[in-house]
Structure 1
Amino acid sequence: MRAPSRPTSPKNAGADVVESSGSGSSVLGGVFGRLASAQEVWIGLVLAALLAGFSILDPDSFASSFNLLNLVADAAILLLLAIGMTYVIITAGIDLSVGGILVFSGVTATKTMEATGATSTGSLLLGALVAVLTGLAWGVLNGALVAYGKIPPLIVTLGTLGMSLGGALLLTGGVDMRAPSRLNLGLGLDKFAGVPLIVWIAVAVTIVLGIVLAQCRFGRHTYAIGSNEKAARNSGVQVNRHLVKVYGLAGLLAGLAGYLSLAKYGITGVSAHSTDNLQAIAAVVIGGTSLFGGVGTVTGTVIGVFIPAVLQNGFQILGVKPFWQQVVVGAVLIAAVYLDQWRRKARDH
């Protein structure tokens, strides 16, 4: 699930080949050089080291199948937000509203299911449809304001963050709503092949959108806009329309995440998702997606989601204060951004 390769400019054409007088060493150097420069490789090694370290420190608790399944299930919802955020950031945008959209979608889904009985399969499916469509509507609004209103994404999505959270508070009176018990005991707890259904849904979405980003025209246009919007327009890409679709996708995934969160935790969690947007952004950036646009992969985002998830889980098991998890994730985020800037400067020179 990699970004489409781009032609190498003459300026850095020799960057991937290590000069050496030895026979064949330049070829080997080029191979290892390209491997070493892949962001996914480095963050993958970090994730592997964390898993190995916590497994050694507490093999009975951390490495148990029960704990690992819970870890993956907890990360599944954030993964949906991060996949949508990956698309947005690749276009050189940002979306601060996903946490608010998640909450608002969960609230509207709950009210819909309550109004339709909340006991039938049809009611639960209707709730899911409402959640997804509500998220899509917020995302399209974001995209329209960014693309056609020419308002900076930071301002637009900060505004819709407040609007969606405020709307959820108005609808609930500031009190968490309980999900229908059938949803919580069904989708929230059911498993297939020993793995929670929520995880399977997140995996399916990740695979599909990873293929779309890496292999389809929609993905190529997403990269083109983030790399050079003017050139993309000159090449015939309908930039404004595409941006609406990208933000709409991010909103749709936030709506789906809201419904799955409702199923897993059993409540709307009106005040529990205030930092979801920052966690999603951190996961995407740690995964190698550039805040400057045009660079990023779904594979990297998946790894970026699990690094803070593993840290939090491991620290809890070891009895380390949770504040340290925030400190470590913050440090990793700064290091990832610094590495991105360094790579950009090296490429430009």
Structure 2
Amino acid sequence: MTVSTPTKNGPEIQTTVDGGFGKRSIGQRLIGANTFWIALVLLALIIVFTAIAPAEFATLFTFQTLLIETSMLLVLSVGMTFVIITSGIDLSVGSVLIFAGMVAGKTMEALSPDGDATKAGWGVITAGLVAAVVAGTIWGLINGFLIAVANIPPLIVTLGTMGAALGAAYLLNNGSDVRSVPTELNKTLGYGTSFGGVPNLVLVAVVITLIGAWLLHTTKFGRYTYAVGSNAEGARRAGIGVTAHLLKVYTLTGFLAGVAGFLSLAYYASTTISAHTTDNLNAIAATVMGGTSLFGGVGSVLGTVIGVFIPAVLKKGFNITQVQDFWQMIAVGAVLIAAVWFDQRRRRRRNSR
């Protein structure tokens, strides 16, 4: 779609907000989309590892584990998709996840007898969830205010809040993890299953992803997100409140980081600070590998889902085939660079028309 921007002394400005497909056929659109090629990469990886180790890789347990391990990263990456489509970046989501998990853990400890949250019920667990979501949302508001209102570059703002949120998390428990987590939370949400053995953690991530896809692809909020990323000035002249919209986008990302922090607490039964130190980079890499353009204005939640699974499949496949983890880093880096190169090539081709 395009946003038509009237000007005072000239013709309307046409701003592309969906990748500039024009009147091409469905087949041409499919082949020209980053998502299509990234999906082929993922499919090829699955086929290769299945052929190499069919008895170990192509099993229900392996795919269940893959889904669980990617759930928290997927929730983070949905928020990152919105941010990068607006031509922004958020380096703080991993630290916000840790901070939100820490706040939830400390809240549940404080509301439990003798500070032992292991036997706490769903009332205390619900309070922990609210605390995590509020904590994440506050950091998102801080990022949004500094970026949208104070006009500080997103890279600088989120680099600063990345360190600040992590430092605040350490201060809350004197630099150590919270390990007193309700057993009921870990049993029900962390490892519980429903609907024929589907992990509850995965169900939550799927619901959030579907809501994110609906929000991005079918609502005014999503259309504004594409418009701001494609041409912020054109969107502003078309009557879109760019400042308010960026504030909402970063707040949404903080909210989802808070949710991811609570999911992590449920799964690991601990805040596991060391396990999330690279989550911000992993979320950015997954989003970009899924076809979301770092230049803004282009991206999809479906692509992000595919991008999240590429490093997960590589890690699982390399572990099963006993290949060193270092090769996974090289392979993910190569796919990431290829995705950015393909995006730049497509942009140059489109702009030359």
Distance 1:5 1:196, change over 3 A: farther
Structure 2 counterpart of 1:190:
192
In structure 2, what is the Cα distance between the partners aligned to 1:68 and 1:159?
Answer: 37
Number of aligned positions between the proteins: 332
Contact map agreement 2:15 2:234 (CA 8 A) in 1 = no
Match runs of 1:207-246 below 5 Å: 207-246=210-249
Distance 1:315 1:134, change over 3 A: same
1:251 maps onto 2:254 in alignment: yes
Structure 2 counterpart of 1:75:
70
Contact map agreement 2:72 2:263 (CA 8 A) in 1 = yes
Q: 1:116-157 CA distances to partner (integer Å, 9 max, x unpaired)?
A: 113111100110111011100000100000001110000000
Structure 2 counterpart of 1:140:
141
Q: 1:296-333 CA distances to partner (integer Å, 9 max, x unpaired)?
A: 00010000000111001111111111111111000110
Q: CA deviation at 1:8?
A: 10
Structure 2 counterpart of 1:180:
182
Structure 1 counterpart of 2:93:
98
Match runs of 1:301-340 below 5 Å: 301-340=304-343
In structure 2, what is the Cα distance between the partners aligned to 1:95 and 1:187?
Answer: 27
Structure 2 counterpart of 1:166:
167
Runs (5+) with no aligned partner, structure 1: 18-29
Q: CA deviation at 1:175?
A: 1.2
Question: Aligned match of 1:116 in 111, 120, 125?
Answer: 111
Give the secondary-structure state (helix, strand or coil) at the position aligned to 2:54.
coil
Q: CA deviation at 1:35?
A: 2.2
Give the secondary-structure state (helix, strand or coil) at the position aligned to 2:49.
helix
Structure 2 counterpart of 1:21:
none
Q: 1:276-305 CA distances to partner (integer Å, 9 max, x unpaired)?
A: 010000000000000000000001000000
Contact map agreement 2:76 2:283 (CA 8 A) in 1 = yes
In structure 1, what is the Cα distance between the partners aligned to 2:22 and 2:81?
Answer: 27
Q: TM-score w.r.t. structure 1 length?
A: 0.92
Give the secondary-structure state (helix, strand or coil) at the position aligned to 2:249.
helix
In structure 1, what is the Cα distance between the partners aligned to 2:148 and 2:100?
Answer: 23
1:260 maps onto 2:263 in alignment: yes
Q: Which amino acid aligns with 1:302?
A: V
Contact map agreement 1:73 1:196 (CA 8 A) in 2 = yes
Structure 1 counterpart of 2:158:
157
1:42 maps onto 2:17 in alignment: no
Runs (5+) with no aligned partner, structure 2: 4-13
In structure 2, what is the Cα distance between the partners aligned to 1:235 and 1:33?
Answer: 30
Contact map agreement 1:16 1:33 (CA 8 A) in 2 = no
Distance 1:14 1:225, change over 3 A: closer
Q: CA deviation at 1:33?
A: 2.8
Q: Which amino acid aligns with 1:196?
A: P
Q: Which amino acid aligns with 2:28?
A: G
In structure 1, what is the Cα distance between the partners aligned to 2:40 and 2:95?
Answer: 33
In structure 1, what is the Cα distance between the partners aligned to 2:212 and 2:293?
Answer: 18
Aligned-pair RMSD on alpha carbons? 1.9
Q: 1:197-229 CA distances to partner (integer Å, 9 max, x unpaired)?
A: 110011001111101101100000101100111
Give the secondary-structure state (helix, strand or coil) at the position aligned to 2:273.
coil
| Structure 1 segments of 4+ aligned residues over 6 angstroms from their partners | 5-9, 13-17
In structure 2, what is the Cα distance between the partners aligned to 1:319 and 1:291?
Answer: 34
Q: CA deviation at 1:186?
A: 2.1
In structure 1, what is the Cα distance between the partners aligned to 2:26 and 2:285?
Answer: 30
In structure 2, what is the Cα distance between the partners aligned to 1:15 and 1:89?
Answer: 23
Q: CA deviation at 1:49?
A: 1.0
